[in-house]
Amino acid sequence: MFKMRLRARRYIMEIILIVLCAGLALRAEGFFSTANLFNVLRNVSMQGVIAFGMTMVIICGEIDLSVGSAVAFSGCLTAYVTRFLIQANVGIPVYLAIPLAMVCTLAVGFGIGCLTGFIRVRFNVPTFITTLALMTVLTGAAELITDGFPLTPFPEWYNFFGGGYLFGIPFPAIVFIAVFLIIQFLMNYTTFGRSVYAVGGNAEAARLSGINVNRVKIVVMGIVALLAGLSGIMQSAEIMSGTATTAKGWELVIISAVIIGGTSLMGGVGTVWGTLIGVIFLGVLVNGMTLLNISQYWQHVVRGVLILAAVLINRVQSRAQQ
């Protein structure tokens, strides 16, 4: 009996997710259809990709509030570079211009993230402040390079990266699963992953044990920005344009999923698996409320209450384990 209670506490969010799915299967017609489940997976994929990187950042004791703006900026940058390469009269065909634009976007994203981490460790500016400022900067940069209008230089086949299927599975969902497996391996089976936990738990103790704390923080900030760039590319493919007004408020949804998954904002505690559950939980919840025709206003209320409930559950669990 004691072991069953212990397991129930450890897997409380998984149990709640199963109960939620069972309830929706009974109340929401078509919830368990293959098409709807794939729709849920597609809808959570782009935010979920970033959430895995955000998990690393929060475990490390930092935060990134700029990921929503980074998604919009990345989509706009991909469109801008693609258009530039096509119109530059240098003989680059569109099927080469787009991959080059993607690589450029990912490199810029990783560089911006590393710069944020460098400012954190070099000048001791909290990432909350740096990324809050960066959020505005990236929004402005996206508007500048698009001149306030959507850029649409993409051919029809580009939509595959955001709206296509591979072996009957939405391509963004495949990317989502791949990123989950990579980050899961990185955090659980590598020295770097253990270093992230050590830095988030006690940075000074980690430094004294020989861990390069500054490098760890710079790299995790670079990774989450890189994943935001990847998500921005997929979103630009889904809507077939670079648009500066997309991904508004994504940062709050992403952080919510990470917190629901059991990651502590204090750092040092959390799992990539928990974030996966948190992402799917929010996706299922939104999809279920939509199928039940619940008002969007009430959806915001319910989501906020659940985030608070998840935090309280995690606090109770952590106290019980002490």
- Write the CB contacts of 44 (distance below 8 Å, at least 6 apart in sequence): 176, 279, 280, 282, 283
Task: Say if residue 279 is exposed, middle or buried (CB neighbours under 10 Å; 0-12, 13-18, 19+).
Answer: buried
CA–CA separation, 321 vs 281, rounded Å? 24
Handedness of CA 191, 259, 60, 175 (dihedral sign): positive
- The reply to whether 141 falls in a domain is yes
- CB of 141 closer than 8 Å to CB of 73: yes
What's the full length of the chain, in residues? Answer: 322
- The pLDDT of residue 104: 97
- The reply to whether 12 falls in a domain is no
Closest by Cα among 51, 11, 39, 15 to 284: 39
Instruction: List per-residue pLDDT tens for the chain, 322 residues long.
Output: 556 665 666 788 898 899 999 999 999 989 999 999 999 999 999 999 999 999 999 999 999 999 999 999 999 999 999 999 998 766 788 999 999 999 999 999 999 999 999 999 999 999 999 999 999 999 999 999 999 899 999 999 999 999 999 999 999 999 999 999 999 999 999 999 999 999 999 999 999 999 999 999 999 999 999 999 999 999 999 999 999 999 999 999 999 999 989 898 889 999 999 999 999 999 999 999 999 999 988 988 988 887 788 778 766 766 665 5
Tokens 């402005």, residue located: 140
Q: How far is CA 157 from CA 95, 161, 165, 279, in A?
A: 10, 8, 12, 29
pTM: 0.95
Using only C-alpha atoms, the chain has a radius of gyration, in whole angstroms, of 20
- The reply to whether 321 falls in a domain is no
- The pLDDT of residue 190: 97
- The reply to whether 19 falls in a domain is no
- The pLDDT of residue 135: 97
At 54, which amino acid appears? M
Tokens 């051919």, residue located: 155
How far does CA 57 lie from the centroid of its chain?
11
- DSSP string across 124-157: ---HHHHHHHHHHHHHHHHHHHHTTS-B----GG
Q: Which domain holds residue 100?
A: 31-316
- The reply to whether 77 falls in a domain is yes
- The number of folded domains in the chain is 1
- The reply to whether 40 falls in a domain is yes
- The pLDDT of residue 321: 59
CA–CA separation, 241 vs 7, rounded Å? 47
Q: How far is CA 85 from CA 82, 92, 95, 102, 234, in A?
A: 5, 6, 11, 12, 20
Closest by Cα among 139, 175, 147, 160 to 236: 160
- The pLDDT of residue 88: 77
- The reply to whether 21 falls in a domain is no
Q: How many CB atoms neighbour CB 251 within 10 A?
A: 25
- The reply to whether 142 falls in a domain is yes
- The pLDDT of residue 10: 74
